[in-house]
Amino acid sequence: MRTILSKKKIRDDFVRKIEEISGQKLLACYQCGKCSAGCPAVAEMDILPNQVIRYAQLGFKEELLEAKSVWICASCYTCNVRCPKGIKIAEVMEAVRQVLLRKRKDHVEVPKLSAEDKASVPAIALISSFRKFTS
Amino acid sequence: MKVSYYPGCTLKSNAKNFEDSALCALRELGVDVQELRRWNCCGTVYSLTTDDLMHHLASVRNLIRVKEEQADSVMTLCAMCYNTLKRVNERIKADPDSLQKIHKFMDEEKIAYRGDVKVRHLLELLREDVKFEAIGKKVKKPLHNLKVASYYGCLLVRPKEIGLDDMENPTVLDDLMAVLGANPVDFPYKTECCGAYLTVDKPETVADRTFSILTSARGRGAEVVSVSCPLCAFNLDHRQKETAKKYSEFKKIPILYFTQLLAIAMGCGEESLRLDLHYVDPQPLLRQKGLI
């Protein structure tokens, strides 16, 4: 894969937005990979949790907004509690989701769920799914 | 001992086995549980963004309900309610600006809430107030020869400032099982995420997690896995159907709330266990062990 780094991307508003919504300082991450090592969801991720942070540092907006990883992260906080720099990776994942959700790009489309789908899971599952994956 | 109790949505429906068993066990332990007269959804998940106060309101309203009943603490059973209510409480305590904005929005509330309600999980009440030693003395039906793997999941133990035990190697549920006479089984997946709400849009992912978690517990000799969260319970119990379809080598295992095991040990009747709500029927095992 050909990757182009540029000051323009790094200084893009997108990077500031992720930092602001997540409340995290992205450049504090030194890419040790501990978050990815302990993540129970990495097998299904296209970009590992440490790469999500790296992409955010470098302003890889399109790549992040298209990443499946943020929708596979279920905010279990294993990465957060283990990060040696105290970075809240789950909050960064949430910020990427929110950039999309705030433009009404829902990940779970409620009207497409059948009555049977909805009845087959408890209220706690539906509410948390809609809270995390819809606008 | 009087305790204010916040049930949350699922305890009144799919997790009635969690609520009924807990309430019966607490009666036997001499705890007077008073459900809040009014309550609403806690929000189920804590909003992780810096600028989203709206999603904290549901929790704050519940904490106001606690104050209205002149209580200074509230007990939850559900791990998700516990985590969400406690985190929102900590957030508004630490951030007066947010609190002020929330007050302005909720100007119809009669109490300007200040974060002074203590949010506690049933396990904390049992460990710190009732005390495990006293529970041990009240056991009527010891869980002898029952090998129980306790699954903690995420939200009882993470993040660190919210968790009620060691976040990497919690033992509180195992300690409780030991005083009830059971054989606690430690296993490496006890704090691994079950997939939570991915059960709605990615049930196959939850089936993978359920396979790993339960196969690990069984491999360590567990006969039953105990849980403390209605969403974990659904994923680990009901999603065994999908797990068995995906993994031919998978062997089903019953899932029980820790409160059901506590209720059995306290001598509660079978009607409080609501064993009809399970996907994998725990009755053959419990009968074989002479527990029902």
Whether residues B170 and B245 share a domain: the answer is yes
The reply to whether B94 touches chain A by the CB within 8 Å rule is no
Cβ neighbours of A72 in B, within 8 Å: 198, 202, 205
Asked if A89 and A57 touch (Cβ cutoff 8 Å), the reply is no
Whether residues B117 and B16 share a domain: the answer is yes
Whether residues B153 and B84 share a domain: the answer is no
CATH of the domain at B108: 1.20.1050.140
Across the range A91-101, mean pLDDT stands at 98
> Whole-angstrom Cα distance, residue B75 to residue B48?
23
Q: Does residue B20 fall inside a structural domain? A: yes
Q: Note whether B200 contacts A129, CB cutoff 8 Å.
A: yes
Whether residues B87 and B184 share a domain: the answer is no
Cβ neighbours of A125 in B, within 8 Å: 196-197, 199-200, 231, 234
- B104-111: long-range pairs with CB below 8 Å, 24+: B105/B53, B105/B57, B106/B57, B106/B60, B106/B61, B106/B64, B109/B61, B109/B64, B110/B68, B111/B64, B111/B67, B111/B68
> Whole-angstrom Cα distance, residue B288 to residue B266?
19
pLDDT of residue A33: 98
For chain A positions 57-96, those within 8 Å of chain B (CB to CB) are 72, 74-78, 80-81, 88, 90-91, 94-95
Cβ neighbours of B208 in A, within 8 Å: 43
B92: its two tokens: 């508004």
Q: Does residue B128 fall inside a structural domain? A: no
Q: Which residue from B196, B152, B157, B167 is spatially nearest to A41, judged by alpha carbons?
A: B196
Q: Does residue B132 fall inside a structural domain? A: no
- CA B254 from chain centre, in angstroms, equals 17
Whether residues B84 and B144 share a domain: the answer is no
Contacts of B211 (CB under 8 A, 6+ apart): B243, B246, B247, B250
pLDDT of residue A46: 98
CATH of the domain at B188: 3.40.50.11810
Q: Note whether A122 contacts B15, CB cutoff 8 Å.
A: yes
Q: Which sequence spans correspond to the domains of chain A?
A: 7-103, 108-135
What are the CA-CA distances from residue A47 to residues B49, B142, B163 (Å)? Answer: 21, 49, 29
Helix axes B16-28, B258-265, angle to 10 degrees: 40
Whether residues B105 and B222 share a domain: the answer is no
Q: Does residue B243 fall inside a structural domain? A: yes
Alpha helices in chain A (DSSP H): 7-10, 13-22, 34-38, 49-58, 61-66, 69-72, 78-82, 89-101, 115-119, 123-133
- Whether residue A1 is predicted with pLDDT greater than 80 in this model: the reply is no
Alpha helices in chain B (DSSP H): 16-28, 57-68, 79-94, 96-105, 122-124, 132-137, 172-179, 198-201, 203-219, 230-233, 240-246, 258-265, 283-288
> Whole-angstrom Cα distance, residue B244 to residue B240?
6
The reply to whether B44 touches chain A by the CB within 8 Å rule is yes
CATH number for the region A7-103 comes to 1.10.1060.10
Mode of pairing for the β-strands spanning B2-6 and B32-35: parallel
Q: Which residue from B100, B80, B82 is spatially nearest to B92, judged by alpha carbons?
A: B100
B20: its two tokens: 């009924």
Whether residues B179 and B265 share a domain: the answer is yes
Cβ neighbours of B277 in A, within 8 Å: none
The reply to whether A23 touches chain B by the CB within 8 Å rule is yes
Whether residues B283 and B168 share a domain: the answer is yes
pLDDT of residue A2: 82
Whether residues B90 and B196 share a domain: the answer is no
- Whether residue A107 is predicted with pLDDT greater than 90 in this model: the reply is yes
Least confident interval from A76-80, A99-103, B103-107, B208-212: B103-107
Q: Note whether B154 contacts A131, CB cutoff 8 Å.
A: no
Number of domains in chain B: 2
Per-residue pLDDT of chain B (292 residues; tens, 9 = 90+): 899 999 999 999 999 999 999 999 999 999 999 999 999 999 999 999 999 999 999 999 999 999 999 999 999 999 999 999 999 999 999 999 999 999 999 999 999 999 999 999 999 999 999 999 999 999 999 999 999 999 999 999 999 999 999 999 999 999 999 999 999 999 999 999 999 999 999 999 999 999 999 999 999 999 999 999 999 999 999 999 999 999 999 999 999 999 999 999 999 999 999 999 999 999 999 999 999 9
pLDDT of residue A3: 85
Whether residues B12 and B110 share a domain: the answer is yes
Of B88, B122, B156, which residue is a domain's last? Answer: B122
Q: Does residue B203 fall inside a structural domain? A: yes
pLDDT of residue A53: 98
- CA B199 from chain centre, in angstroms, equals 18
What's the domain range around B244? 140-288
The reply to whether B198 touches chain A by the CB within 8 Å rule is yes
The minimal CB distance from A98 to the residues B49, B208, B230 is found for B49
> Whole-angstrom Cα distance, residue B148 to residue B199?
25
The minimal CB distance from A122 to the residues B13, B167, B192 is found for B13
Read off the pLDDT band of A29 (50, 70, 90). Answer: very high
Whether residues B176 and B114 share a domain: the answer is no
> Whole-angstrom Cα distance, residue B88 to residue B269?
37
Whether residues B91 and B206 share a domain: the answer is no
